[in-house]
Amino acid sequence: MAAFTTEEFERNFKSLYKPLCLFALRYIDRLDDAEDIVQQAFADVWDKNSEGLLIGNLKAYLYQAVRNRSLSFISQSPMAQATDVLPDMEDTSEEEQIRCSERDARLWQAIDKLPPERKKIFLLSKRDGLKYQEIADELNLSVKTVENQMGKALKALRETVVRIYCFIFGLA
């Protein structure tokens, strides 16, 4: 494999950044730290490329680099002394973890495509755990409006999830 161009690097960054951040979040708790780890992994790849070092499988290399950096990060944190602080890791293959990260990234892309108010309502419910009445109070909406918007969001996301699983299992 030849060294890659700036355009190829940018294309890989755009397609792998979110899945790699989600992958890092399997190890660490804070999104900011996950993003730092992923950005540093990409910076290291760029440095290697500039030095003429070739990477055969960029995607696999980046996932391994993010995994290693995440593990180093949690082992260096002050709380790493207590074993109950470390996140429970499933015994899954790296390939399965990559597939899950890609699935999660596609789901987040679908959430990002929801209309802004519907997305806000959906995230307040599913991410923040607010009840419909609490969402209605916060956004000055009726509970019925919140229910309707959640129904529409779930319908749109359900269709996306079906497409993702069809793709993963080769049913498309």
**Alpha-carbon torsion (55, 107, 109, 32), positive or negative:** negative
Chain segment 149-161, per-residue pLDDT in tens: 988 988 887 777 6
Fold of 113-172: Arc Repressor Mutant, subunit A (1.10.10)
pLDDT for 133 equals 92
Instruction: Give the model's confidence band at 81: pLDDT under 50 very low, under 70 low, under 90 confident, else very high.
Output: very low
- Residue 105 pLDDT > 80, yes or no? no
Angstrom CA distances, 111 to 3, 48, 73, 104, 160, stand at 35, 35, 29, 10, 10
Amino acid 129: pLDDT: 77
CATH 1.10.10 fits 1-89, yes or no: no
32-51 mean pLDDT: 89
Where along the chain do its domains lie?
A: 1-89, 113-172
Pick from 163, 135, 161: nearest CA to 150? 135
